[in-house]
Amino acid sequence: MNTHISLLGCGLMGAPMARRLLAAGYPLTVWNRTRFKAEALAEAGARVADTPAEAVARADIVITMLEHGGVVQTVLFDGPDAAVHGLRAGTLVIDMSSILPEQAQAHATRLAEADATALDAPVSGGTLGAEAGTLAIMAGGDEAAFARARPVLEAMGRPVHVGPAGSGQLAKLTNQMIVGITIGAVAEALLLAERGGADPAKVREALRGGFADSRILEVHGQRMVEGDFAKRGSMAIQLKDLNNALHAGAQLGFEGPITRLLATLYQQGVDHGLAELDQSALFKELQARQHTGEA
């Protein structure tokens, strides 16, 4: 394929996404702040760059998959090695990180000033979806830019254009609200079953196929009953996303009381040392509350 892609950020999500792009035949240059993570992709055919500016110099499309909005701003715009200094005119920049809608809008404006086009296109599906190429991709920006990006995005999942700049990030926040709240519901329900003497694993199995069934019950519920809280997503990132949803809601004059309650519970889990565990470890926080009588 002739479309050259640059991917900035080769972490838990970025690395499997890069592998999907390479498998689809796209020439790919990668950069990561911790270089060894980018170098791990070299054997799959990626070219490794030393700086963001160098990474994007020959790219038609740039993809960012970074920790939060502040990091995205730094990588794109701040300092002599920032990506903006290497962009060619007409480059399409797709930010697939999870950031605030207002940050996505501000980045789109700054990229337009650099004669580049922006899409905000965050994802859902976690590392499993990234590896399988089945990510849900929510894109905000110009429709023509989305049409240009679509073949590339389809190598990683199922893209849907949801509105103008910032709308992709708003859709991701709604996703994270549902995920974070539902993890709490599943954890609390399984703990109730356990308290009453039922087998949580069997309760989960019994609920499958009914109205309570969900991807969260399937995946995170399984992690809860197995006590497998190894990091795929994380409590810290889930908390960040819920706080971002609350912030966006406040900007719009919208109150989210259920989201606020769950953000408080995730915050307590983070405060109790669970920050780098999978977000299903909210189960551990709620379990500890039962034992200490805080419930």
Provide the annotated active-site residues.
Answer: 172
Residue 243, CA distances (Å) to 119, 278, 285, 295 in order: 23, 17, 18, 23
Residue 168 to residue 136: CA distance in whole angstroms:
11
How many other CB atoms are found less than 10 A from the CB of residue 207?
19
Sign of CA dihedral 70, 71, 73, 78: positive
Q: Are β-strands 117-120 and 135-141 bridged in parallel, bridged antiparallel, or unpaired?
A: antiparallel
Residue 36 to residue 42: CA distance in whole angstroms:
10
Which of 243, 235, 84 is CA-nearest to residue 177? 243
- Helix, strand, coil shares of the chain as percentages rounded to 5? 55, 15, 30
Which of 95, 85, 82, 198 is CA-nearest to residue 141? 95
